[in-house]
Amino acid sequence: MSLLKYYTKGILSNRNLWFWGVAFMLFWLVLGAYSFAQGIPQVALRGYTASWYGTIALYSLSSLAISVAYSIYFAGSSLVYSFKYTKLTPLSYIGTLLGSSSVLGILLSAIMLASTYGFYTARFGLNLVPSDPLGAIAVSALAGVFMMTFAMLLVLIVVNYVGLRSINLVTFVPLILAFGLGFTSLTNPLPSSFLYASPYNAIQALLYSAYSGSAAPVQLDNPASAALYWPYLLISLVAWIVLLLVVDSILLRRLKPRQLEEGRQI
């Protein structure tokens, strides 16, 4: 429990997370409400609002992966010896990060949820209350866990096999993928099979469904496009989490002691 509090408090004190994961995302929510909403018919306002929430919440949650990645990176050397000489085990360490990431995922998404409701209700003069806020919170907890497991996978690959000089590039991969896949799904129709298989798009579509109360369309800004079946999206996301947890636990047992100086850029 003390380790869980330590990691949660440590990530919450990260100013970069609050700037890029919260303030910068709120800036985009304001743009979506006041700059990009010209000519939106009233019947489409709920879907429009839900698409912005799903997309911006995805971006915010992906920024969490960067903070988690650096936390694992800086703890890497001590973890090797902790696993060997203390009661800390790879499974208990992963469990700590699972709890911390789910709490932080809920917090970030709740901020985006409340902000989306406030901005877009004020802008359009309609009560655009989320249809299923508890569902959005549950999806956000899973999204936080996915981002943690994905970030851990990338860091462990760098530490064990690639070399620490690649750490600064690799830690931004989750955020880059979120922007690329999230924006593409928002504006362009992608094959439904790809959307079901992509954990990023599954998170985005599930958050859209929770806010709007209806199935997410294949192209989020086009409600007339084919609808996605939310249970398949949820199964896909959970399957990715389970797969990454298995791989992470294997790689964590093979963790190699490294000096942080190895990651210094020359």
Number of domains in the chain: 1
pLDDT at residue number 2: 61
The span from the CA of 149 to the CA of 152, in Å, is 5
Q: Which sign, positive or negative, has the C-alpha torsion 69, 239, 107, 25?
A: positive
Contact between residue 214 and residue 179 where contact means Cβ atoms under 8 Å apart: no
| pTM summary value | 0.90
195 lies in some domain: yes
76 lies in some domain: yes
pLDDT at residue number 264: 54
171 lies in some domain: yes
pLDDT at residue number 6: 66
173 lies in some domain: yes
- Note down pLDDT in tens along the chain; length 266 residues: 566 676 677 777 778 888 888 999 999 999 999 988 777 888 889 999 999 999 999 999 998 888 877 777 777 667 777 777 777 787 888 888 888 888 888 999 999 999 999 999 999 989 999 999 999 999 999 999 999 899 889 888 888 777 767 777 788 888 899 999 988 888 777 888 999 999 999 999 999 999 999 999 998 878 888 889 999 999 999 999 999 999 999 888 887 766 555 555 44
pLDDT at residue number 260: 54
Burial of 16 (0-12, 13-18, 19+ CB in 10 A): exposed
168 lies in some domain: yes
95 lies in some domain: yes
pLDDT at residue number 1: 54
265 lies in some domain: no
Q: What is the dihedral of CA 153, 255, 106, 173, to 10 degrees?
A: -30
The span from the CA of 196 to the CA of 175, in Å, is 19
Question: How many other β-carbons are positioned within 10 Å of the β-carbon of residue 134?
Answer: 9
266 lies in some domain: no
Beta carbons within 8 Å of 240's beta carbon, 6+ residues apart:
146, 199, 202
pLDDT at residue number 259: 59
Domain of residue 185 covers 2-260
